[in-house]
Structure 1
Amino acid sequence: MLVNVVTAVHAPYARFLASVWSSLDAQSHREWTWLVQIDGPDKAVRDALEACGAATDPRVRVAVNGTSEGPAVTRNLALARADAPLIQNVDADDELEPGTLSVLVTALAEHPRAGFAVGHARDLLPDGQLRGHALPLSPGPIARGALLDAWRGTLPVHPAGAMWRRSLLLALGGWSALYGMEDTGLLMAASATSEGVLVDAPTLRYRKHADQTSAQPSLFAGAGEQVALIRQRAQILLGQAVWTG
């Protein structure tokens, strides 16, 4: 089954794209296209894609925002270009594990009521080591609302590496308009709307580096309000009809 892999990228992260490309090219599941959406100036990103050989691959489709709009808007513009039934996100500074697409496609095929599938995320440390984390959930179907119940400060699963059914993404309006929590907002809304499935395998390598947004000091003062908004929205969705595709 065809998968559209979505990557939002801006110039400072162009240096990581060769690693993203290598992780895609190593996938055992070969039916994919890579939707690269450039946020802001495009030269550094295009040069990086050219240098690693991705620019000449017909499976790579590049588009440019024209302005700098942030990750949520940029991913949603890529979503608007998507034409596959399944959407896999991979951030520009992260990597997919070698079997990611295969294991997540299989999980969704085996669980037709699930709107999303997610696996384990491992931290990719600056020295190349991979550090895993124990999850508070068991592998298998994720009941509707279970992720919201398990969210106690730390997220129960990493939302950045989830595979989505495109129809669910569209029903939820794509990634949420939140500061640094756009994927958390989407994940909790999805869990309140649909069943999911957790696979017992690493699927995402989450790069830890000094330039990542979460490592930067911020004057943003609305973190608590964002969490409250996510929870309030999820509670409303839990009271509505389950998503059926």
Structure 2
Amino acid sequence: MVNIISVITAVHGPSAEFLPDAYKSLLEQQLPEGWEWQWVIQEDGETDAVLPHVPDDARISFGQGRHGRAGVARTLGLSRVAGQFVKVLDADDMLTPGTLARDLAALQQPGVCWATSRVLDLLPDGTTVGFDQDPPEGLIERGEVLGHWTAHDFRAQVHPATLCVRRDLLLALGGWMALPASEDTGLLMALDAVSRGWFTAETGLLYRKWPGQSTSQAAHVQEGERSARMMVVEARARALASFGEWRIDA
């Protein structure tokens, strides 16, 4: 029997040109015996701009849907996910060799429902920059990320773009939040509110910095909307925490 880890990618026209780089990073993954990856690519919109950049590979599932931003696209893509674990990979980012295997190892740890890893920002000139607040490798206790996030101006010590999560829990939480941005942070806080996670200190993602990415736009840091997003994310996480810890079925 083959086990599947499903990699899910939201993409729109401007970022489609980076899909071949993301694909190359998937081809470089070495999975444990009995495991294969599936790549679910979901276009945020219904255009002719993305499909030409989608590689020809039977392991890839491509879909389209009405424009609703990345969170909506990823959540729609969940309808085609075949694996018990779901790995996030933004269209303009790249996994480092060994990332999927390390995520799978982390998710075999007792009580662990989600995994993250170290990130390097990939700058336009090809250089990389790390983050100075990485936690130690190992278990992340329930509520730990939310505590750090609220104490550090809504900046978490782990990056939501590196998430690998149990599919059943992801579905139970409703996928990604219906927000114009920070929908992945909303998911991370929800996961942290109800379950324990894992941080891998070895770099797992190259996070591309380029002018077209949504987080580089002025609207992303507009204070009124940012405050509203953060309030909803925090309130949801605290409400979920009141229901107790998610239990993994044996």
TM above 0.5, yes or no, is: yes
User: In the TM superposition, what are the counterparts of 1:210-229 in structure 2 within 5 Å?
Assistant: 210-218=211-219, 221-229=224-232
Question: Deviation per CA, 1:164-209, whole angstroms, max 9, x where unpaired?
Answer: 1101101110001112100000000100010001112111110001
1:16 and 1:93 in contact (8 A); partners too: yes
Distance 2:174 2:203 in 1: 28
The aligned amino acid for 1:61 is S
Distance 2:202 2:122 in 1: 16
The aligned residue for residue 63 of structure 1 is 63
Aligned residue for 1:176, secondary structure, equals: coil
- Deviation of residue 42 (structure 1)? 3.6
Structure 1's unaligned 5+ residue stretches are none
The aligned amino acid for 1:126 is P
The aligned residue for residue 133 of structure 1 is 131
Distance 1:19 1:42 in 2: 21
The aligned residue for residue 29 of structure 2 is 27
Distance 2:134 2:49 in 1: 40
Q: 2:9 aligns with which of 7, 12, 17?
A: 7
The aligned residue for residue 242 of structure 1 is 245
Q: 1:230 aligns with which of 225, 229, 233?
A: 233
Question: Deviation per CA, 1:109-158, whole angstroms, max 9, x where unpaired?
Answer: 1x131110000011011111222113342211100000001111222111
The aligned residue for residue 158 of structure 2 is 157
Distance 2:78 2:240 in 1: 22
Aligned residue for 2:177, secondary structure, equals: coil
The aligned amino acid for 1:95 is M
Distance 2:164 2:226 in 1: 26
1:121 and 1:204 in contact (8 A); partners too: yes
**Which 4+ stretches in 1 moved above 4 angstroms?**
none
- Deviation of residue 44 (structure 1)? 2.1
User: Aligned residue pairs: how many?
Assistant: 238
Q: Give TM-score, length-normalised by structure 2.
A: 0.91
Aligned residue for 1:31, secondary structure, equals: strand
Further displaced range: 133-142 or 73-82: 133-142
Q: Does 1:43 align with 2:48?
A: yes
The aligned residue for residue 104 of structure 1 is 103
2:69 and 2:180 in contact (8 A); partners too: no
The aligned residue for residue 115 of structure 2 is 117
